[in-house]
């Protein structure tokens, strides 16, 4: 295997893990599970989101240098251009753009307004879900036990919080005896 293929796989795994934990932290922040230390969690959420974007950038750039795949810049940035393993490839591209655009709106929230930003930022969970689907559908390691364990460890809590959030169940009920 080439250096770039290994780098692509590693960066994709890091992006999945960091985005999953970021979604968990964001969902906890948006609820009532945390009473103190919100600023610490907000900082962690931002750092994880930025780490996700950095890992996504490495994932895409290293794909461009891969000697097996030989994609063009359009193949890895525009949905449905590449003929490689569709629809998983396009789901990943759309999700990557979604995470990048929606994540970076944090820095424009004063200009777009807090309420509009919050409504927009909620779509980040859908972009994350798309990234999870992409990872499970196209990833070289998607059937390997270590990958499934890693994905489960980071994705199941995020999925549980997401289901709880959209089911209308109070986060307080998650901690009640």
Check whether 163 has a pLDDT greater than 50: yes
CB neighbourhood size of 2 (10 A): 13
Which backbone phi and psi does 34 adopt, to 5 degrees? -110, 125
Distance, CA of 128 to CA of 107 (rounded, Å): 19
Q: Among 32, 21, 19, 3, which Cα is nearest to 124's?
A: 19
Q: With contact defined as beta carbons under 8 Å apart, do 26 and 43 qualify? A: no
Q: How confident is the model at residue 143 (pLDDT cuts 50, 70, 90)?
A: confident
Q: Among 118, 116, 127, 3, which Cα is nearest to 53's?
A: 127
157 token code pair: 């809590």
The predicted model scores a pTM of: 0.89
Can you give the pLDDT at residue 177?
A: 44
Q: Among 151, 9, 14, which Cα is nearest to 69's?
A: 9
pLDDT digits (tens, 9 = 90+) for 107-135: 999 999 999 999 999 999 999 999 999 99
Q: How confident is the model at residue 176 (pLDDT cuts 50, 70, 90)?
A: very low
Check whether 49 has a pLDDT greater than 90: yes
């Amino acid at each position: 295997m080439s250096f770039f293929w290994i780098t692509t796989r590693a960066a994709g795994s890091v992006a999945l893990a960091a985005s999953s934990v970021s979604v968990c932290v964001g969902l906890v922040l948006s609820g009532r599970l945390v009473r103190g230390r919100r600023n610490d969690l907000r900082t962690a959420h931002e750092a994880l989101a930025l780490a996700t974007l950095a890992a996504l950038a490495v994932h895409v750039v290293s794909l461009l240098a891969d000697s097996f795949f030989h994609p063009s810049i359009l193949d890895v940035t525009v949905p449905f251009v590449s003929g490689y393993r569709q629809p998983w490839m396009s789901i990943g591209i759309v999700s990557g753009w979604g995470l990048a655009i929606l994540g970076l709106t944090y820095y424009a929230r004063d200009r777009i307004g807090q309420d509009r930003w919050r409504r927009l930022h909620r779509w980040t969970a859908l972009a994350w879900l798309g990234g999870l689907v992409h990872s499970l559908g196209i990833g070289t390691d998607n059937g390997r036990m270590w990958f499934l364990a890693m994905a489960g460890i980071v994705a199941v809590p995020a999925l549980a919080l997401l289901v709880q959030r959209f089911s209308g169940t109070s986060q307080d009920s998650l901690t009640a005896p």
